[in-house]
Amino acid sequence: MKGKYNNNRFSIQKRIKSFIFAFKGIKFFIKTQHNAWIHLFATILVIIFGFVLNVNLYEWCLLIFAIGFVLVAEIFNTAIEYLSDVVAPEYNKKIQKTKDLAAGSVLFSAITAAIIGLIIFLAKI
């Protein structure tokens, strides 16, 4: 089965293109999603507090993982919303449940990240 997306040969050019597409996705996410700005603002605050409160290497790893966890959840949520709008442009009860679940995953990841931050930062205050 040959096709545009089924060529299994390794190619540096194809790997570079895949990174370009990924960076385009991140750029689109940052430019178009208001929640991205909230998460980026929170990320900056966490980094500042991390330096001010002198967190250790282990704590930095947890904080960076928590930040990434929230941003990845938000990007997946955005992708699900865009795909849902293409599949069902009009209101659809099942699509709405899908969007609610995706949004709930972002909320859950943000609460988890906040708890990690509180555990680390409150111990230092």
pLDDT tens across 33-72, in order?
999 999 999 999 999 999 999 999 999 999 999 999 999 9
**Residue 28, domain member (yes or no):** no
Counted domains in the chain = 1
Is position 11 within any domain? Answer: no
Q: Which two structure tokens, joined as six digits, stand for 85? A: 């709008």
| pTM of the entire predicted model | 0.86
Q: Which residue matches tokens 């282990």?
A: 58
Question: Does residue 38 belong to any structural domain of this protein?
Answer: yes
Residue 1 lies in a domain: no
Is residue 98 a part of any domain in this protein? yes
Could you count the other beta carbons within 10 Å of the beta carbon of residue 90? 6
